Amino acid sequence: MNINRINPLDAINQATNNGKIQQAGKASRTESITVSAEAREAAELQNIRDMVLASPDVRADRVAEVKAKLADPNYLNEKLINDTADKIIEFYRL
């Protein structure tokens, strides 16, 4: 039993070997984009937001400072209490 080739692959091999394979050349034109001022501002705000979200919620240095002040018995006096009360009233507009 003989099997003859149907659609031999030699024709394909000859075509690729005889013809030069062309490599893609570099693009002759350059492309550019422009970003609006609004988009730049939005990107900057997003970066600031990301920085704020990455920062710790509690500032350990301030907590330590306040604890040290409260540990001093002379720190809490009548003037400090009145000033604090005034600031609270002003903040809440009472």
Write down the pLDDT at residue 31: 86
Q: Look at residue 13 and tell me whether its pLDDT is greater than 80.
A: no
Write down the pLDDT at residue 83: 96
Q: Which residue has the higher pLDDT, 9 or 73?
A: 73
Domain extents in the chain: 59-94
Separation CA 59–CA 25 (nearest Å): 57
With bands split at pLDDT 50, 70 and 90, how would you rate the model's confidence at 57? confident
Separation CA 41–CA 49 (nearest Å): 12
Token pair, residue 64, equals 């330590």
DSSP code for 19: S
Q: Look at residue 67 and tell me whether its pLDDT is greater than 70.
A: yes
